[in-house]
Each structure stands twice: as C-alpha cells, then as structure tokens.
C-alpha cells in the first residue's frame, strides 16, 4: 500500500495541502461529513469544530472520466452508492473564465479572478 501511494505521488496524482476538516474534540479525530449528525460527532456526541489541517488529496480530476466510466461496470453495487460516488467525483462540464480586475479596488491588489461556471448563459444577468 505504501508503494502504491509513492507511485501515485510520483505520477502527480496526490498532493498535500491545507483543507477544512470536521474535528471531534472528544475523540480527537477527523470525521467524514457522513459521521457528523446535526453538527455532532456520531460516536462522541460532541459539537464538531471546523479546523484547517494539512492533508493528502487525490487529484481525481486528472482521471475523473475513467472513474466515472468504471462506475457503470459495477453492476453489483447499489445504484444509491454509485450515485454517491458520481457526486463525490464531482466532475462538472462548464467554462473556466478569467476576469480582469482593477488592483486598486481589491483588498489584496489582485488583477484578475478565475471563475468556473456550468451556466455561462447567466454571466451577464441573462
């Protein structure tokens, strides 16, 4: 398993970056969204805190099409689970746009903003 992870790392399919997590202060562990019920940890019942922590991410967008196509062949998986996986993979079709900004009017002096939209027809108030 460690060799597989190193292979993924060398292939550029994993990266380490900061991300928000659900932190259970009683169990002192990170919880998946599905383990948080009404804002509380499923096991301890403690109020879950949002924390930013370094973690490893699979860059699934690099191979999202292969993952999505593979789900179609999993006939023994319940459809509900396949739908959850499709949503988790989260590939969306749309446009990436870059808008110019006036750096004098932005808090950090940015000169552009990158945007992704699945509804380009609404960009100009249409």
Each residue's pLDDT tens digit in the chain (126 positions)? 799 999 999 998 899 999 999 999 999 999 999 999 999 999 999 999 999 999 998 887 788 888 889 998 999 999 999 988 888 887 667 888 888 888 888 777 778 888 888 887 887 775
Q: Supply 16's token pair.
A: 């380490």
User: Edge-to-edge strand order for the sheet containing 29-31?
Assistant: 29-31, 14-24, 49-58
DSSP state of 47: B
In which residue are the tokens 């992870």 written?
Answer: 5
Count how many domains the chain has.
Answer: 3
* Residues 5, 53 share a domain: yes
**Residue 80, domain extent:** 60-90
* Residues 39, 12 share a domain: yes
* Residues 80, 100 share a domain: no
Helices (H) and strands (E) in the chain, counts: 3, 7
Question: What stretch of H or E contains 57?
Answer: strand 49-58
Q: What are phi and psi of 26, to 5 degrees?
A: -85, -50
* Residues 51, 11 share a domain: yes
Question: Other C-beta atoms within 10 Å of 41: how many?
Answer: 21
* Residues 73, 31 share a domain: no
């Amino acid at each position: 398993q460690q060799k597989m992870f190193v292979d993924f790392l060398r292939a550029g399919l994993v990266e380490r970056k900061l991300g928000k997590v659900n932190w259970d202060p009683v169990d002192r562990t990170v919880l998946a969204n599905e383990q948080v019920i009404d804002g509380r940890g499923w096991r301890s019942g403690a109020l879950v805190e949002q924390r930013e922590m370094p973690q490893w991410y699979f860059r699934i967008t690099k191979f999202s099409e292969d993952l999505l196509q593979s789900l179609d062949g999993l006939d023994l998986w319940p459809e509900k689970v396949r739908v959850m996986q499709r949503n988790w993979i989260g590939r969306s079709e749309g446009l990436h746009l870059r808008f110019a900004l006036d750096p004098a009017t932005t808090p950090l002096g940015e000169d552009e903003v990158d945007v992704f939209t699945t509804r380009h027809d609404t960009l100009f108030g249409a």
